[in-house]
Amino acid sequence: MTLENIKLDVDFVRSQFPAFKDPLSKDWSFFENAGGSYVPQNVINKLTEFMVSTKVQPYAEYPMSKIAGNNMDKATKTFANMINAKENEIIIGGSTSINLYVLSNALKKFINPGDEIIVTNQDHEANISPWRKLEKIGAKIVEWKFNTKSHELEISELKKLLNRKSKILAVTHCSNIVGSINNLKLISDIAHENNVIVIGDGVSYAPHGFPDVKELDVDFYTFSLYKTYGPHLALLYGKEEILKNLPNQNHEFLEGKYPYTINPGGPNHEELVSLIGIYEYFDNLYNHHYKNENLSIVNKLKKINDLISKHEEFIANPILDYLSNRDDIFLIGQKNIINKNRAPTISFISRKKSSKVVSEILVNNKIATRNDNFYAWRCLKHLGIDTEDGVVRLSMTHYNNSVDTSNVINALKKI
């Protein structure tokens, strides 16, 4: 088999996740990955090891403490390498919402009355409300609205909004409702031509392929680690030249010691260390599929990302095709996945039944999903969808398989 014909070994993938053998979950098809993914055994092992052997205050000289501190540093360094960032450019915090609230509080130093902040109505609220709150200090909030026919954010509309008063652009890399992957590199280039800081939300993108933040050239980028096969933490990347000039949001004695200045209270120790397990899992994937290639961490991940994308296209397109051909279903976003134009995050409503009823039918057929607005209520409101009943969302990731695809289509036929 040539390298070009290598396919993701989904059986090997699933063997790494205990949830698929667990009596409670093993008989279900899991379609709520956009809300939080399962974790591989490597992550569980790292968490357990820390709690058993090194659950002490880190960075002292006695062995348990020294190991704890070393592993915390290793986790930070490894994850920085995974997204092609410097070690002093990433912050591990409690959630994406928390990270962005802290960041907005720091960036408001550079906002003067009348300055403009561009937000979209396609994003999750985490990358909208922190910036909208800066209206209180005199900022003008400008909304980049997506097209209600195509459901896409259009670059031509962004260009109309940018001007000399524009200071910050907050935009999603991938919508958790529409599923489209926005061209964040192009968006960053256009924004930077206007001296605008770009805040990229990668929460719905990163589970389908960790980003190369230097390639994207965003100023800040964030995603949730509990949606990328880890514990309930979130990562925030920031360019060093900006981070070092932000006002301290942490203890006074940490003044000038970025990135700790943007991480009040510091990271959760045991969960930070368990992030090593995410890297180990992806390294196992790489070594299982590719032999004897000495590549950097970020280049290994790019190869694995390609395998994941092709697999997700294979398992998601039949569902998209089925839904788009039903007259009683309103499918949000593009009708198929081609060259990673969208994620396998599929949102829809029935024209005849409430989303709650549809969700209940699916759950009764052992499809783990739900109906909701998924904190993207502005997106639903723009589409004229009831934000309380919301949409039904079927979100897949690379450990889903063709059996899951068949199961959900069969369940959808009962609606």
Question: Quick one: pLDDT at residue 1?
Answer: 43
Distance CA(389)–CA(395), nearest Å, equals 18
Residue 70 domain-assigned? no
Residue 68 domain-assigned? no
98 and 189, same domain (yes or no): yes
345 and 257, same domain (yes or no): no
Mean pLDDT of the chain: 97
Residue 373 domain-assigned? yes
Q: Which residue has the tokens 């969700």?
A: 359
230 and 332, same domain (yes or no): no
Answer for the pair 202, 212: CB distance below 8 angstroms, yes or no.
Answer: no
Pairing of strands 220-224, 197-201: parallel
- Where among 263, 285, 317 does a domain terminate? 263
Residue 276 domain-assigned? no
Q: Angle at Cα 163 formed by Cα 185 and Cα 149, nearest 5°?
A: 60
255 and 318, same domain (yes or no): no
Shortest CA distance to 343 belongs to which of 393, 395, 390? 395
Shortest CA distance to 346 belongs to which of 408, 295, 286? 408
In SS3 terms, the chain reads as CCHHHCCCCHHHHHHCCHHHCCCCCCCCEECEHHHCCCCCHHHHHHHHHHHHHCCCCCCCCCHHHHHHHHHHHHHHHHHHHHCCCCHHHEEEECCHHHHHHHHHHHHHHHCCCCCEEEEECCCCHHHCHHHHHHHHHCCEEEEECCCCCCCCCCHHHHHHHCCCCEEEEEEECECCCCCEECCHHHHHHHHHHCCCEEEEECCCCHHHCCCCHHHHCCCEEEEEHHHCCCCCCEEEEECHHHHCCCCCCCCHHHCCCCCHHHCCCCCCHHHHHHHHHHHHHHHHHHHHHCCCCCCCHHHHHHHHHHHHHHHHHHHHHHHHHHHHCCCCEEEECCCCCCCCCECCEEEEEECCCCHHHHHHHHHHCCEECEEECCCCHHHHHHCCCCCCCCEEEEECCCCCCHHHHHHHHHHHCCC
106 and 217, same domain (yes or no): yes
137, two tokens: 């200090």
Answer for the pair 106, 249: CB distance below 8 angstroms, yes or no.
Answer: yes
34 and 98, same domain (yes or no): no
**CATH (domain of 97):** 3.40.640.10
Shortest CA distance to 245 belongs to which of 234, 256, 230, 237? 256
User: How many structural domains is the chain composed of?
Assistant: 2
Question: Quick one: pLDDT at residue 147?
Answer: 98
238 and 106, same domain (yes or no): yes
Shortest CA distance to 230 belongs to which of 91, 30, 48, 36? 36
Residue 164 domain-assigned? yes
- Where among 244, 263, 282 does a domain terminate? 263
Residue 57 domain-assigned? no
Order of strands across the sheet that contains 234-238: 90-93, 234-238, 220-224, 197-201, 166-172, 116-120, 140-144
198 and 124, same domain (yes or no): yes
106 and 198, same domain (yes or no): yes
In one-letter notation, the amino acid at residue 228 is T
Residue 376 domain-assigned? yes
Distance CA(259)–CA(254), nearest Å, equals 10
258 and 396, same domain (yes or no): no
Question: Quick one: pLDDT at residue 393?
Answer: 98
241 and 313, same domain (yes or no): no
- Where among 211, 240, 263 does a domain terminate? 263
**CATH (domain of 380):** 3.90.1150.10
**pLDDT tens for the chain, residues 1 to 415:** 445 589 999 999 999 999 999 999 999 999 999 999 999 999 999 999 999 999 999 999 999 999 999 999 999 999 999 999 999 999 999 999 999 999 999 999 999 999 999 999 999 999 999 999 999 999 999 999 999 999 999 999 999 999 999 999 999 999 999 999 999 999 999 999 999 999 999 999 999 999 999 999 999 999 999 999 999 999 999 999 999 999 999 999 999 999 999 999 999 999 999 999 999 999 999 999 998 678 999 999 999 999 999 999 999 999 999 999 999 999 999 999 999 999 999 999 999 999 999 999 999 999 999 999 999 999 999 999 999 999 999 999 999 999 999 999 999 999 9
235 and 118, same domain (yes or no): yes
Q: Domain residues for 143?
A: 91-263
Residue 81 domain-assigned? no
